[in-house]
Amino acid sequence: MNAAQDTTGPSPTDDSTRAALLVIGGGPAGLAAATAYRDHGGQGEVVLVSDDDTAPYLRPPLSKDYLQGETAEPDLALAPESDYAEKSITLRLDTMVTAISADEGRARLSDGTQIAFDRCVIATGNAPVTLPVPGADDPRVAYLRSLEQARRLREEAGTARSAVVVGSGFIGCEAAVTLARRGLEVTVCSTEEIPQAQRLGTDAGERIAGWLREEGVRLLGGVEVTAITDGRRVELDEGGPLEADLVLVAAGATPRSTLAVAAGIPAEQGRVLVDEHMASEVPRVFAAGDVAMAYNTGAGRHLAVEHWGEAEAMGTIAGTTAAGGDASWDSPPGFWTVIGDHTLKYAAWGDGYDRAELVDHGDGAFTVWYSTDGVLVGVATHDADDDYESGGQAVLRGDRADPAVSAGTGS
Ligand SMILES: Cc1cc2nc3c(=O)[nH]c(=O)nc-3n(C[C@H](O)[C@H](O)[C@H](O)COP(=O)(O)OP(=O)(O)OC[C@H]3O[C@@H](n4cnc5c(N)ncnc54)[C@H](O)[C@@H]3O)c2cc1C
C-alpha cells in the first residue's frame, strides 16, 4: 500500500469484496456518486462504506427541526431503503476505511477486511473543529456533525435549562435559535463582533443578529474562549465566565482528508485536489463534497465549499464521470440557512468582495449584492427568491453590479 494507516488485518490476497466502484463516505456526495454511477450505466458491484451508524441521512435538519424534536429519525433518510437494493448499492455502515492504495486499487477497512476496487470516490466530508483550548475535548462538550452527536444534543436539550453556543456561523446560529425555542436560555459567544459579518458583510450580519435577538438569544461578540471547565463553564478572554447546563461548540469544520493524503493523493489546504469532473491527479480516484477542492469552470479556479447542494452536485459529477459519462462543475456554489423562521440563501464564488450593497424590500425581505471591481461575485437574499435565481445567473455571467442592484426588487 502507498501509505497504510493500519498494518494489521488480512494479507492483500484475501479480499472479501471486489467493487467496480468504492465510495468512501455516506453523506450527500457519497450517495449521489453511487446513484449517478448506476444511473449512467455503471456496471459491477458498488460498495458504499461509511463510519456513520445510519444509512445516508439529511444533515441540515440536525441543527433545525430534528434538534427541535419535530423530525423523527426515519424522516431523515436520504433515500428509501428499497433504493439500495434496486440500484445494487451495498452499504457497509459503522465501518471506516483506514487506508487506500490507489496503485493497487485496494482499501483496508476497520473491520479487518479489504475491498479491491476499480474506481474509488473519496467523499469523507468534514469534522467539527475542536476548539484549541483546555477542556474543549471534554466528552461533556457537544459538537454537531453526525446523527449520533445530534441524538445526544437533542436528548440533553430536553433537560437543560441553559446553553452556551460557541461560534456564530450558520450551525451555531441555527442551533442557538432552535435551543431557545425549546425553552433554553441561550448565549452565543464568538470572536466575530456581528454574526457572519466577515462572510456576508455587516448589513446582513446585523439582520442575522436581529433574528437571534428576537428569539431571545443573547449575543456576545468579539470575545475569545480561553478554556472550558467541567464541560459547562466557558472562560473568556474578556468578561465571563459563562456557565450553562450545555455547551455546544460550533467553531467551524475541517476536511477529513487524512486517508487521501496518506495515500499520496495531491491535496491543497487539506482538501483533495480534483478537476471539474471530480477526478484527482491519481488515476481511478475521484473526490467530491466538503473534502474536495474542485475546479469550477465558471470560477476558473479551484473552490472549497461546504454546502449540501454542492456536495450532491459534485457527487453526481464524480459518479457520472466514473461511469464513463460527461459532467462538469460550473455554477456558483449556493447554500441556504434557516434561522428560526428566516431563510437566507447565498450564492457566491466565495473568495471575498470589495462592496456589499443591501437592498431593502420591506417587511424584512432583502438582497445583498456582492461585487469586486464592479463585477458581481455573490448574492444573498431573504424572502427575495427571484433575486436569488437571477443573481446566481448574473454572478455566473460576471455581470456588472450596478444594474443588478438597481433592478433588485425582491419577490
Ligand atoms: C448540523 C448541520 C447543518 C447543516 N445545514 C446546512 C444547510 O442548511 N445548508 C447547507 O447548504 N449545508 C448545510 N450543512 C452542511 C452540509 O451538511 C455539508 O456541506 C454536507 O453534508 C457535505 O456533504 P459530504 O458528503 O461532502 O460530507 P458529509 O455529509 O460530512 O459526509 C461524509 C461521510 O463520510 C463518512 N466518513 C468520513 N471518513 C470516513 C472513512 N475514513 N471511512 C468511512 N466513512 C467515512 C462520514 O461518516 C460521513 O458519512 C450543515 C451541516 C451540519 C453539520
pLDDT in tens, 298-333: 889 999 999 999 999 999 999 999 999 999 999 889
* CA 29 to ligand 1: nearest atom: 25
What the block records as the C-alpha cell of 159 is: 433537560
pLDDT for residue 332: 86
Instruction: Pick the last residue of a domain from 228, 251, 274.
Output: 251
What's the DSSP call for residue 226?
A: E
- State in Å: Cα 27 to ligand 1 middle: 5
The neighbour count for residue 341, using CB atoms within 10 Å, is 10
Does ligand 1 lie within 6 Å of residue 24's CB atom? yes
Strands 17-24 and 46-49 turn out to be parallel
301-303: strand order across its sheet: 267-268, 271-274, 292-296, 301-303
pLDDT at 15: 52
A 10 A CB-CB count for 125 gives: 28
Taking 70 as the threshold, does the pLDDT of residue 2 lie above it? Answer: no
Domain boundary among 230, 251, 272: 251
Question: Which residues span the domain enclosing 376?
Answer: 341-397
User: Does one domain contain both 220 and 301?
Assistant: no
Q: What is the pTM of this model?
A: 0.93
Last residue of a domain, one of 227, 251, 275: 251
What whole-number distance in Å separates Cα of residue 409 and Cα of residue 64?
29
Complete edge-to-edge strand list for the sheet that includes strand 365-372: 334-339, 342-348, 375-382, 365-372, 355-362
Strands (E), 291-331: 292-296, 301-303
CA of 376 to the centre of ligand 1 (A): 29
CB 221 within 8 A of CB 173: no
The alpha carbon of 59 and the centre of ligand 1 are apart by a number of angstroms equal to 7
Alpha helices in 40-146 (DSSP H): 65-68, 81-86
Question: Which three cell numbers mark 372?
Answer: 469586486
374 and 312 in one domain? no
Regarding whether 273 and 237 lie in a shared domain, the answer is no
pLDDT in tens, 355-410: 999 999 999 999 999 999 999 999 999 999 999 999 999 998 999 987 667 665 44
Do 109 and 194 have their domain in common? no
Residue of 35, 58, 115, 124 to mutate, ligand 1, most atoms within 8 A of C-beta: 124
CA–CA distance, 234 with 288 (Å, rounded to integer): 36
Residue 240 C-alpha to ligand 1 middle, in angstroms?
33
Q: 316 and 206, same structural domain?
A: no
Cα 91 from Cα 84, distance rounded (Å): 8
Same domain, 32 and 118: yes
